Structure 1
Amino acid sequence: MTQKSDEDDKVRLDKWLWAARFFKTRALAKAAIESGKVHCRGERCKPGKEPRVGDEFQIRAGFDERTVVVKALSIVRRGAPEAQLLYSETPESLAKREQAAEMRKAGSLGVTTDGKPTKKQRRQLFQFHSGDD
């Protein structure tokens, strides 16, 4: 899988992200790239960009932000163990993601409420938002 052929030299970024299993479909990978969730050297990318071995990408998906370095190119989506051979995550990125996961588990990032507002509270919220006195 890590062997390069003529086809693998011309791989698109959206196809590589799909093959490396960052996104479930190529359409999702393309949408993420177009919406600015994938950066190369601090700049937004286009779906047709051709990644090279050694390129560093910042990829945001959900709550996680990863910084990965391309180790190999592939246009074929395979199993997760083989897909992980296509890239390596930087140690800083891994530590940052683990810390963010711990904070989410602790509930420090989430909004906590006492539950559903009562009918009176809903009326007060509606009154507040509409500007009526």
Structure 2
Amino acid sequence: MDEGTVRIDLWIWSVRLLKTRSAATAACKAGHVRLNDERAKPSAAVRIGDEVRLRHEGRERIVVVQRIVRKRVGAPAAAECLIDKSPPPPPREMLIPVGRRDRGAGRPTKRDRRELDRLRLHPKGPGDRPD
């Protein structure tokens, strides 16, 4: 590699798109990273002006490389190294569907628990009981 390039896994980690370098390498190997609309291996060379797409935690990050960095930098410096063209993240309520009980309902009764178990096991017919 010449002076104007750096490995994509190293760059993704350096600009804080992922927490660890091994996570960046794993994302590349799993096909979650695209460089200029092509699947990128961890050793792919990144240059200024390249577009990097990263799928992580249910959302896609689209960034354009502004500066090449080889060492992890702070958040303000990392923001200067890229132009973020990502769509806005979905609302928090849409990310984690959680079953909620009414406030003050307390623990489920034995009858409630049996109904929940029956729903989870999907019995074959009306008279079938899970054993």
TM-score (norm 2): 0.74
Specify the structure having the higher radius of gyration (Cα): 2
Within a 5 Å distance, the mapping from 1:88-107 to structure 2 comes to 88-90=83-85, 93=86, 96-98=87-89, 100=90, 103-104=91-92, 107=93
Task: State the shift of 1:112 in Å.
Answer: 4.3
- Going by fraction, where is helix more abundant, 1 or 2? 1
Task: State the shift of 1:65 in Å.
Answer: 1.7
Provide the rounded CA distance (Å) in 1 between the counterparts of 2:120 and 2:8: 46
Greater than 6 Å deviation, 4+ residue runs: none
Provide the rounded CA distance (Å) in 2 between the counterparts of 1:21 and 1:8: 21
Provide the rounded CA distance (Å) in 1 between the counterparts of 2:120 and 2:47: 54
Match of 1:124 in 2: 118
Task: State the shift of 1:10 in Å.
Answer: 4.3
Q: How many residues align?
A: 118
Instruction: Give yes or no for contact 2:6–2:47 (8 Å, CA) kept in 1.
Output: no
RMSD (CA atoms): 2.5
- For structure 2, the 5+ residue unaligned runs are 102-106
Task: State the shift of 1:43 in Å.
Answer: 2.4
Match of 1:39 in 2: 34
- For structure 1, the 5+ residue unaligned runs are 1-5
Match of 2:48 in 1: 53
Match of 2:10 among 2, 15, 20: 15
